[in-house]
A and B are shown apart, each in its own frame.
Chain A
Amino acid sequence: EIVLTQSPATLSLSPGERATLSCRASQSVGSYLAWYQQQPDQAPRLLIYDASHRATGIPARFGGSGSGTDFTLTISSLEPEDFAVYYCQQRSDWPITFGHGTRLEIK
């Protein structure tokens, strides 16, 4: 099973700042990695697929990069609605696995 390790577990920033979230895979997943955002009591939302492609309707301030084992989700300038939990997920191999999440909180 491919293990995804996300860091940091919690990130405290202010609106307008830049956020950088990391996801590291225990073995190469190529570019088959996604990022999801989950607000409290809401369903997850797909942000990024294939490591760097924004899903439909996702604002341009969200960007994904990386390949192999190291991936980054960047939010260029935080809006109030961006404070949430973010998960990475790999689709390279079964079983599908998620990271444990990064909680982005308001400083």
Chain B
Amino acid sequence: EVQMVESGGDLVQPGGSLRLSCAASGFIFSGYPMHWVRLAPGKGLEYVSAISSDGDSTYYADSVKGRFTISRDNSKNTLYLEMGSLRAEDTAVYYCARAADFGSGKFYLDSWGQGSLVTVSS
């Protein structure tokens, strides 16, 4: 069974840092790009970041570029999101998701973790 479990969410002060982890199991982790998506209170889903299957390519939303860093350790089947210079507007549930290609060459998010809550407040 495909499973992803996020951890590391916490209450942090503005300007602070946090690292989220996403432990994956039930599939060949090194064969899939991975993404982070967040859901802020009262808002809709927002794409945060993505990383290629080998970790060589990364992508960021403008809202987090320069502050967040995505990485992965394929030997540990784990995805990470290093979050720095945190702001109140970063408060959200953060989901990791697997990206799969169903044949069109485009990747869609076919499996998701249950999310990790990050609260940025003084």
* A interface residues, Cβ below 8 angstroms from B: 31-32, 34, 36, 38, 42-46, 49-50, 53, 55-56, 85, 87, 89, 91-92, 94-101
Contact = CB atoms under 8 A, between A and B. Distances in A.
Interface of B: 35, 37, 39, 44-47, 50, 59, 61-62, 95, 97, 102, 104, 106-110, 112-115
B115 A100 contact: no
B109 A36 contact: yes
A44 B45 contact: yes
B44 A87 contact: yes
A98 B114 contact: no
B109 A101 contact: no
Among B45, B47, B102, B110, find the residue whose CB has the most chain A CB atoms closer than 10 A.
B45
Among A34, A87, A89, A95, find the residue whose CB has the most chain B CB atoms closer than 10 A.
A95
A97 B47 contact: yes
Contacts of B95: 43-44
Contacts of A55: 108, 110
A98 B47 contact: yes
Contact of B62 (A46, A87, A95, A98): A95
Given A31-B104, A97-B47, A44 B59 contact: no
B44 A99 contact: yes
B74 to A, nearest CB: 22
20 contacts: A32-B106, A36-B45, A43-B113, A44-B109, A49-B102, A49-B104, A49-B108, A50-B104, A53-B102, A55-B108, A85-B44, A89-B45, A89-B108, A91-B108, A92-B106, A96-B35, A96-B47, A98-B46, A100-B44, A101-B45
A97 B104 CA distance: 18
A50 B100 CA distance: 12
Given A45-B112, A101-B45, A50 B59 contact: no
A34 B95 CA distance: 17
Nearest to B102: A49
A91 B97 CA distance: 15
A34 B112 CA distance: 15
Contacts of A89: 45, 108-109
